[in-house]
A and B are shown apart, each in its own frame.
Chain A
Amino acid sequence: MILIKRQLEYSGLIMLAMLLCLIPVSGGAAIQGISGTSFNFTASSGHISAADGDDVFFWGFGERGKLPQYPGPTLIVQQGDTVTIRLNNHLPQNTSILIPGFKVQASGGTPGQITREAPAASTTEVVYTFIADRPGTFGYYSGTNPDLQVEMGLIGAIIVRPSGFSSSAPTAYGDARTAYDDEFLFLLSEMDPEIHHAVEIGTDPVPTTGFHPVLWFINGRNGPDTMSANHVTWLPNQPYNAMPSIEVGKRLLARWVGGGRDHHPFHTHGNNYDLIARDGYLLETTAGASRPASELGTVPDLAVSDFTQNVAPGGSYEGIWSWTGAELGWDMYGHTGSETGVCEPGPAPPSTIVNGFDINTREYCLDHGKPLPVVLPNAQQLTFGGFYSGSPFLASEGSLPPGEGGNNPSAGYAFMWHSHNEKELTNNDIFPGGLMTIMIVNAPDM
């Protein structure tokens, strides 16, 4: 629905918000989190800022002495480490941490239904210890009254690096099939602010059966806040962004975690990914078995190519995603053919790509010099997006009417990554927002 007035409001407000808040992340961005083997957590309450402007009361895990956060700190540990989490609790009810996928020993605190708990409003610690005996992506969740506490925000993610991990040649599981150039976490969740309000004003018992989520999150933020920088001061309880970017012809590792109670179909515009693992288990017939990836390199032999990942509550998924621009049928740089390049061999069969890519531009060689096959209408006939560079060509800036574009200074190709339950692209009844972000594919740094 765009009324003329609304259109002005829309572009004006959103643009202003974007320009004020957006600090585009260029390649090499890493997953934010805390590394080590010993972590001290406190569960406490605070307010998160929903992108519709609402402050939502929440319960979160935080590093002791710091603010609670949504989601809780992402723990980045090494395979083989003995990991200890000490939790105390300022909340009005007991809480705890479950880490599905690992054999966790709990001590201290008080006994609970599923695990030992940190008692309410106390400095008494419960201590969870586990050996991170396998690499992968995992979630952690409250195991106390989880129907309410997970909704309230007591969730987080754990990344276990494989043995021998090297940040200069990273892999997810220790071999070339899971090698990547950049990695991003997408912890998906939703909230029903009515429940949060009921908790804040002390309603007892809290009605959770009428669950009606109207806020949807990636890494604890609603769109468009997903695209603001990590650790912006105006989102003190939501430190993590979700703005992936990658260069043409590189491998991106997407780590998805289902953090709420609904399924979310997460669609990757731009290309298919190869799902390489679920819940930290590689999709392979036998250890080391591989097949060619959809685009570049290899993946485990049972990897599933898809364009939408159903992220289930409590599940985790890892996918390798690349964008090569192969066989577009036109020159993505808008070269006219006079430029020379150096081509390397194409990928192995069964890929049908018979020629390779320029070693500098990573352009698909056979498309070199081919013109854009259409003539775009004039500016007055078009509505421009904030992530449009003004040109159909990669790394090119075109002329845009005043006030248009501006969110894509590297002039990369922008692709929306989002929930395809389109209802979830809203913030409390307001479109656009919710479970969405923008993935930017950049030309190589030449």
Chain B
Amino acid sequence: MKLFCRILITLVLLGSNNVLADVVVECPTWADPGHTQIDYTGGTFADGNSDGMIRADDGEITDPISATQVCLHLAAGDGLVNMADGYEQYMFGFANATGTAAADVLNTFMEGAVFPAPTIKVKQGDDVYITLTNVGMNRRPDLFDPHTVHWHGFPNASAIFDGVPDASVSINMGSSLTYFYHVVDPGTFMYHCHVEATEHMQMGMLGNLYVTASQDEVANGTVLGTYTKQAGDRFAYNDGDGSTRYDVDYPLQLAAFDPAFHDASLNVQTLPFADMDDKYPMFNGRGYPDTLAAAGALPYEHGASSPVSTLMTPTAGDRMLIRISSLSTTSFHTIGIFGLKMQVIGRGSRQVVEPYTTNSITIGGGESVDVIVDTTGTTAGDKYFLYATNLDHLSNDAEDYGGMMTEIQIQ
């Protein structure tokens, strides 16, 4: 079946678009020793340190056009992912194709989308090139959907790189489009496809995206207001006073699937937009207790789970930064930690003017909130539950004790 569809899609690509479809990875480089000519298509470089991206400052780009250049390649298409009750869901999504030769991308990533989308973590000041290749829908060869990348919350975005299909362009099957972002601000963002947003987002084209602060780079011993930077300190924002300091950070993206919608998509049925009703609330693509399992897809009888773990394992005394974002398409969610308090230090990718302490965070689709959890006073072996206090979001469809829940296991 897979092979058949692959051939069919290939034929359609050749037929409908002639030979105009083309996978092109844009990671620009200097074309000449005098640095006057840019080779926009640069080349495909190897991800030497396996951090999921090609970085000039990791020495992975030959003749980069800027010292802060970062290149990523995402493949957009379809795939399958198991829910925590074992139910396999058809999905649309992204996969990290960074480092794959252009000629191999369609074959390698067809039906290879993962949920959630690969986490994008870059640094303030980076010049980020994200190439998006539309590899088509292997299970739905009747579909010809374009895709986009929408960097949700990017400040002073241009329309062309904002990924809203109505406002600019989206990329057709078999082709590639490269987005550029000069990353000015640190913070917790998110990304998703914006084509037919209700459908493509419910189907899973969602991922974590955050930018680390340049204050991370200051030398140990630097005085930041009333605080002096210590070894290992990192900062959610350029706070100038250490108030957003953390030892360990965890992205926590909320999203949920409606199996009736996903099944309708797989079975070429009318999509139930008005009756969309999520039954699988998830943290980073998994329901509890799968949220606790280590990184790497969990095998099920048919297929496998999301590869992302949401187990949090701070050492007692650590300040944890939890980067909460929601890309839920139907609901608000409220998140609490039983026994630990949260200090809200950021929202909407900006440091908040007035931090406050709370036991619950209510978050709607497209919102992000940064909280610091200070584990001072806890002991190794302690366990705390982080969960949706909307108790109906604690299930994997009919299965109880699931959904939006994970554990903070103190080391």
Contact = CB atoms under 8 A, between A and B. Distances in A.
B156 interface: yes
A376 B176 CA distance: 9
A123 to B, nearest CB: 40
B330 A421 contact: yes
A428 B274 CA distance: 6
A302 interface: yes
Interface in A368-396: 371-378, 380-388, 392
A323 B159 CA distance: 12
B74 to A, nearest CB: 15
Contact of A388 (B145, B169, B271): B169
A308 interface: yes
Interface in B7-59: 16-18, 20-22, 24, 26, 28, 38, 40-41
A271 B158 CA distance: 10
Interface in A261-280: 263-265, 267, 269-272
Interface in B113-147: 127, 129, 142-146
Interface stretch (B95-103, B307-315, B348-356, B393-401): B348-356
A286 B199 CA distance: 46
Contacts of A387: 159, 166-168
A3 B142 contact: yes
A375 B142 CA distance: 30
B196 interface: yes
Given A421-B331, A428-B274, A374 B129 contact: yes
B272 interface: yes
Interface stretch (B104-112, B221-229, B361-369): B361-369
A426 interface: yes
Contacts, number: 232
Interface string B168-181: 11111011111111
Contacts of A1: 143, 145, 196, 199, 265, 271
Contacts of B197: 422, 425, 432
A272 B366 CA distance: 12
A377 B332 contact: no
A377 B22 contact: yes
B196 A263 contact: no
Contact of B353 (A264, A303, A375): A303
A264 B366 CA distance: 11
A407 B274 CA distance: 28
A439 B127 CA distance: 27
Interface residues of B, number: 79
Given A383-B146, A387-B167, A426-B273, A374 B178 contact: yes
Contacts of A426: 198, 273-274
Interface stretch (A53-61, A164-172, A234-242, A412-420): A412-420
Interface in B178-202: 178-182, 184, 194, 196-199, 201-202
Contacts of B330: 421, 423
Nearest to B150: A269
B172 A270 contact: no
A262 to B, nearest CB: 9
A304 B157 contact: no
A378 B364 contact: no
A304 B347 contact: yes
Given A302-B353, A421-B329, A422-B198, A382 B171 contact: yes
A385 B178 contact: no
Interface stretch (A93-101, A114-122, A325-333): A325-333
A20 interface: no
B353 to A, nearest CB: 6
B184 A352 contact: yes
A83 interface: no
Nearest to B175: A381
Nearest to B196: A431
Nearest to A267: B366
Interface string A405-446: 000000001111001111101101111100000100000000
Nearest to A264: B364
Contacts of A287: none
A414 B155 contact: no
A424 B176 CA distance: 30
Contact of A383 (B156, B165, B176, B201): B165
B350 A325 contact: no
A281 interface: no
Contact of B350 (A306, A327, A429): A306
A7 B165 CA distance: 13
B276 interface: yes
A368 to B, nearest CB: 14
B162 interface: yes
A306 B348 contact: yes
B109 to A, nearest CB: 17
Nearest to B174: A381
Given A272-B155, A374-B26, A377-B177, A382 B172 contact: yes
B294 interface: no
A4 interface: yes
Given A310-B367, A420-B366, A438 B144 contact: no
A109 to B, nearest CB: 38
Interface string A270-308: 111000000000000000000100110000011111111
A9 to B, nearest CB: 13
Interface string A308-340: 101000000000000111111110100000000
B317 interface: no
Contacts of B319: none
Contacts of B174: 381
Contacts of B349: 272, 307
B332 A263 contact: yes
Contacts of A392: 158-160, 168
B164 interface: yes
B153 interface: yes
Nearest to B184: A327
A323 B28 CA distance: 28
Interface string B345-388: 00111101110000000101111100000000000000000000
A308 B367 contact: yes
A410 to B, nearest CB: 13
B329 A327 contact: no
A429 B273 contact: yes
Nearest to B178: A374
Given A381-B171, A429-B272, 9 more contacts: A2-B146, A270-B157, A271-B157, A294-B155, A374-B180, A385-B168, A422-B198, A423-B198, A426-B273
18 contacts: A1-B196, A2-B145, A294-B155, A301-B353, A308-B365, A326-B184, A330-B182, A373-B28, A375-B40, A380-B18, A387-B159, A388-B168, A414-B166, A423-B329, A426-B274, A429-B275, A432-B166, A438-B167
Interface of B: 16-18, 20-22, 24, 26, 28, 38, 40-41, 127, 129, 142-146, 152-153, 155-160, 162, 164-172, 174-182, 184, 194, 196-199, 201-202, 265, 271-276, 328-332, 347-350, 352-354, 362, 364-368
8 A-B pairs with the lowest CB-CB distances in the bound complex, closest first? A420-B366, A329-B182, A306-B348, A265-B364, A414-B167, A381-B175, A392-B160, A420-B365
